[in-house]
Structure 1
Amino acid sequence: MPSQTISIVDDDAEVRSATASLLRSIGLDVCTFASAEDFLASTELHETACLIADVHMPGMSGLELQGRLLPMARRFPVILMTAHPTDGARAEAIAKGAAGFFAKPFDADALLACVEDNMTK
């Protein structure tokens, strides 16, 4: 798989670090952000090939971030994860086109497969 930037947005520093390490282990370039607002204000927004975001964060949630990205011309897969999964959040994420929805703690192999599957589309 060619090297492409994956952006991770999560307010939990340990989750950001662990997820980044997992993705780097398969050769992907990773950028991390502590908030959706930081991601939207970054230059990485235009370099991102796939976004992994937490659903529940202070300020803008992952679902709100996903909604903000919908009208943008720059399209990339969005994968959401949460420690507090609900059927409503999953349904909203899928309705907005999420490439994946994972409950924390997530299965590392399943997340990697989801990223790889969506990076090749």
Structure 2
Amino acid sequence: MHDTPMRNTTTIAVVDDDESVRTALKSLLRSSGYHVRTYCSAMDFLDANAPADTHCLISDIQMPGMSGLELHEQLGAMGFQIPTIFITAYPHLGANTPRLVACLPKPCETDRLLNCIEAALRQRH
């Protein structure tokens, strides 16, 4: 994977109800040069008006309240075309989701996740 000059201006949103997952992903992505915002729920993400400046979304599928799949559908209905990566214990659930870059099993391999993020950002531009 190569460094891009835009990396430090790229915002990645992590939506997961598991605090340890949010913390680990935030640390990994920041150390890789990304600007990261974390949210404990889909509604928290939407309420923060986060979709407006999110370049890539990483989300769990199974969460209380609105699921990751429902969040993804809601974003599309709102006109946001955010490339999405699901990291989940149920990777089969995201199989035929539009604008989905990947559906990775928990725990996911670091290199695979970073490669998926790069693919998502290429897809966005």
Task: Compute the TM-score of the two structures, normalised by the length of structure 2.
Answer: 0.87
Q: Which moved more, 1:39-48 or 1:29-38?
A: 39-48
Q: Which residue of 2 aligns with 1:58?
A: 64
Equivalent-residue separation in structure 2 for 1:44 and 1:64 (angstroms): 16
Choose from 95, 106, 119 the match for 1:91: 95
Q: Which residue of 2 aligns with 1:109?
A: 111
Q: Secondary structure at the match of 1:115?
A: helix
C-alpha RMSD of the superposition: 1.2
Equivalent-residue separation in structure 2 for 1:118 and 1:81 (angstroms): 14
Structure 2 unpaired stretches of 5+: none
Deviations along 1:83-117, one digit per CA (max 9) or x if unpaired, are 2333xx13243xx2211100000011000000012
Q: Secondary structure at the match of 1:106?
A: coil
Identity %: 44
Equivalent-residue separation in structure 2 for 1:59 and 1:71 (angstroms): 18
Structure 1 residue 72: Cα displacement: 2.3
Q: Which residue of 1 aligns with 2:47?
A: 41
Choose from 114, 119, 122 the match for 1:120: 122
Deviations along 1:13-64, one digit per CA (max 9) or x if unpaired, are 0000101111111100000000000001113221101100000001000011
Q: Secondary structure at the match of 2:87?
A: strand
Equivalent-residue separation in structure 1 for 2:111 and 2:31 (angstroms): 12
Equivalent-residue separation in structure 2 for 1:36 and 1:44 (angstroms): 10
Equivalent-residue separation in structure 1 for 2:80 and 2:73 (angstroms): 13
Structure 1 unpaired stretches of 5+: none
Structure 1 residue 75: Cα displacement: 1.8
The list of structure 1 runs, each at least 4 consecutive aligned residues, that deviate by more than 6 angstroms after superposition, is none
Task: Compute the TM-score of the two structures, normalised by the length of structure 1.
Answer: 0.90
Q: Which residue of 2 aligns with 1:12?
A: 18
Choose from 78, 82, 85 the match for 2:88: 82
Q: Which residue of 2 aligns with 1:69?
A: 75
